[in-house]
Structure 1
């Protein structure tokens, strides 16, 4: 089956990033690879095997369907942790397959205990605490009920972890809020331990917290965006650079997104290009028609804004990005031919198109653009 674009995933770039992350967290802290959102658009099936080759043995996902895909993809045993959606009907499958999961509602805790007793197998729970994110997690009053239930169910369930999530560690404007969350988490953890319960793992840090707040490393860090070669925000990168004498980005991007020239088109001066009247040819123009549009994750907001690389040169997107194609100005390029390589994201020659440049032009976050890349774009691992 042929496709109009494809994605390359660099194994050597991942090796570089994992080595950097391990250096940052130290040998005594476990690194959990976050592969939710189809491994941040990189593809669970393509990313997980090379992550395991890099020594990763712990993966975190959002939901049971991602956990199922991950389980089918593993090349060797590894821990799988579901951080979010897990229907009660899916608990039996998760417990039977040794999949760990967050608990942030009493209902899930009690149902897990019932199913564990039925299976004769302990459920491994991570108790999520509400510390100020106000999304999911036990606040202090509900935590008391959860701890009482855990005590009653200790023959059926195992308190594998206690965790929380910071509300914006990537931005300095959230600094006081993050510190307050950290303090509250420590207080809640102390309360849990004085209640007689002792979690095996304590974890709170995402990529941004790992870099900016080293005190949040604890037993494990949950790393998403940085393992793929991207910084959570410019502020996080600036903070890192300010702490080091070598002012060089230690991360390498894994992803390159490519297509080919589908057709060459001549347009006379004064003609409108594509739908509507958003672009009128200021001169006689040559266009390359590229078979990628918003249906393939190339935002319509990049109409008359975006660039691609052809023959190592930046070429501007002109006219409105269509569902399946875009038009690119190649008037100044020499000898562009049908089937020439087009780089939508990544490097070609000495030029590069970054995810950050997409974000600046379309108001999308790194995370948003990457996770919106359709799963049916083929992904290939390269060295």
Structure 2
């Protein structure tokens, strides 16, 4: 094994999740697969190709570099939409390759129009509205200026979409704020229409909004975390379950993160283990050294708290997680051998280590832990 750990991505799990999402949104709503953050840690190159095989033909990325990685990967034509970072000099590349992109500043709209005119190609843009997130987007005043610019560049700029993003649809405490945002979006959309600018697509829903606020689905939903088999929050899952008779999680996790035992170590009672004095052996112990540490995405905050699976049994992390290795207690696991499989995340036998369990121990969100998995951990597709 050249690498100290590897990730398995399940095709059948992805197909299950995509089928479920499409069942929820219906046939008239477009599904855009969000693959920002290296496809939430699953790998843009591996996941993009796999998603196409599962019927996806629309992708959302954060930046131009992600769009380029995806473009180089996909084997069939697909729509790629940049939701965030694209420098004005990169707009020419995007327009030339028919990449769609969000517009949330006047200078980007003006630049896109000028470049499209020079290239003799229309720029497909998505106008982002500021509705209460207070991050990016045109507020009501700036929108009036955008309308005037759009009017002057109809020949070169196509209003593909009008969009916004909700500030916390995954939490009930944001309920009123989300509803205010939806109302603001509808008002500004009407303002645009009255000025003669009707988009081809209206889209506002992320995974959480798609589940908890069906009225936000509109023409397209931008689904990230749920396609990978995770709910945006326990509240979102509870809301879904409360609406259905079947009390079973319809999603399946795609990801299994595995390593192996690098070495076995006997430690006498009373000895400290690893750096510092955070763990003192309460008895004679047998430790397995696993070649994964915080440099590989296994948080240092999981020291003396994390768990892995070996021979279908949970083994606790003891001592401080190092940069490249950690130690786990295998004293009570029979017949442990060097090179035995270690599951850091996923299933082994009847046991599982979930991302949620990582989050509870390390205070990381599902999103944070997944996207911190390094690029150079190899990803393999399995059935």
TM bin, normalised by shorter chain, reads over 0.9
Structure 2 counterpart SS, 1:295: helix
Could you tell me which residue of structure 1 aligns to residue 347 of structure 2? 347
Structure 1, unmatched stretches of 5+, are none
Could you tell me which residue of structure 2 aligns to residue 233 of structure 1? 233
Alignment of 1:47-66 (within 5 A): 47-66=47-66
Could you tell me which residue of structure 1 aligns to residue 211 of structure 2? 211
Q: Give how far 1:296 is off.
A: 0.1
Q: Give how far 1:54 is off.
A: 1.1
Q: Return the TM-score normalized by structure 2.
A: 1.00
Q: What is the alpha-carbon distance in structure 2 between the residues aligned to residue 367 and residue 33 of structure 1?
A: 15
Q: What is the alpha-carbon distance in structure 1 between the residues aligned to residue 361 and residue 263 of structure 2?
A: 26
Answering whether residue 103 of structure 2 is matched by residue 103 of structure 1, we say: yes
Could you tell me which residue of structure 2 aligns to residue 357 of structure 1? 357
Could you tell me which residue of structure 2 aligns to residue 298 of structure 1? 298
Provide, for residues 35-71 of structure 1, a one-character-per-residue CA deviation record: whole Å limited to 9, x for no partner.
0000000001111111111111000000000000000
Could you tell me which residue of structure 1 aligns to residue 310 of structure 2? 310
Q: Give how far 1:198 is off.
A: 1.1
Q: What is the alpha-carbon distance in structure 2 between the residues aligned to residue 287 and residue 341 of structure 1?
A: 15
> Which shows bigger deviation, 50-59 or 218-227?
50-59
Q: Give how far 1:369 is off.
A: 0.1
> Which shows bigger deviation, 1-10 or 308-317?
1-10
Alignment of 1:150-299 (within 5 A): 150-299=150-299
Provide, for residues 157-178 of structure 1, a one-character-per-residue CA deviation record: whole Å limited to 9, x for no partner.
1000000000000000000000
Provide, for residues 293-331 of structure 1, a one-character-per-residue CA deviation record: whole Å limited to 9, x for no partner.
000000000000000000000000000000000000000
Could you tell me which residue of structure 1 aligns to residue 17 of structure 2? 17
Structure 2 counterpart SS, 1:107: helix
Q: Give how far 1:75 is off.
A: 1.2
RMSD of equivalent CA atoms: 0.5
Q: What is the alpha-carbon distance in structure 2 between the residues aligned to residue 74 and residue 194 of structure 1?
A: 39
Q: What is the alpha-carbon distance in structure 2 between the residues aligned to residue 197 and residue 140 of structure 1?
A: 15
Structure 2 counterpart SS, 1:121: coil
Provide, for residues 138-161 of structure 1, a one-character-per-residue CA deviation record: whole Å limited to 9, x for no partner.
000000000100000111110000
Q: What is the alpha-carbon distance in structure 2 between the residues aligned to residue 156 and residue 49 of structure 1?
A: 31
Could you tell me which residue of structure 2 aligns to residue 75 of structure 1? 75
Q: What is the alpha-carbon distance in structure 2 between the residues aligned to residue 172 and residue 15 of structure 1?
A: 29
The count of aligned residue pairs is: 383
Structure 1 counterpart SS, 2:343: strand
Q: What is the alpha-carbon distance in structure 2 between the residues aligned to residue 133 and residue 381 of structure 1?
A: 37
Q: What is the alpha-carbon distance in structure 2 between the residues aligned to residue 350 and residue 22 of structure 1?
A: 30
Q: Return the TM-score normalized by structure 1.
A: 1.00
Structure 2 counterpart SS, 1:84: strand
Could you tell me which residue of structure 2 aligns to residue 87 of structure 1? 87
Q: What is the alpha-carbon distance in structure 2 between the residues aligned to residue 340 and residue 300 of structure 1?
A: 23
Q: What is the alpha-carbon distance in structure 2 between the residues aligned to residue 227 and residue 362 of structure 1?
A: 24
Could you tell me which residue of structure 2 aligns to residue 112 of structure 1? 112
Q: What is the alpha-carbon distance in structure 2 between the residues aligned to residue 242 and residue 136 of structure 1?
A: 34
Provide, for residues 322-371 of structure 1, a one-character-per-residue CA deviation record: whole Å limited to 9, x for no partner.
00000000000001000000000000000000000000000000000000
Structure 2 counterpart SS, 1:62: strand
Q: What is the alpha-carbon distance in structure 1 between the residues aligned to residue 240 and residue 89 of structure 2?
A: 44
Q: What is the alpha-carbon distance in structure 1 between the residues aligned to residue 300 and residue 205 of structure 2?
A: 34
Q: Which aligned segments of 4 or more residues in structure 1 are displaced greater than 3 angstroms?
A: none
Provide, for residues 212-261 of structure 1, a one-character-per-residue CA deviation record: whole Å limited to 9, x for no partner.
00000000000000000000000000000000111000000000000000
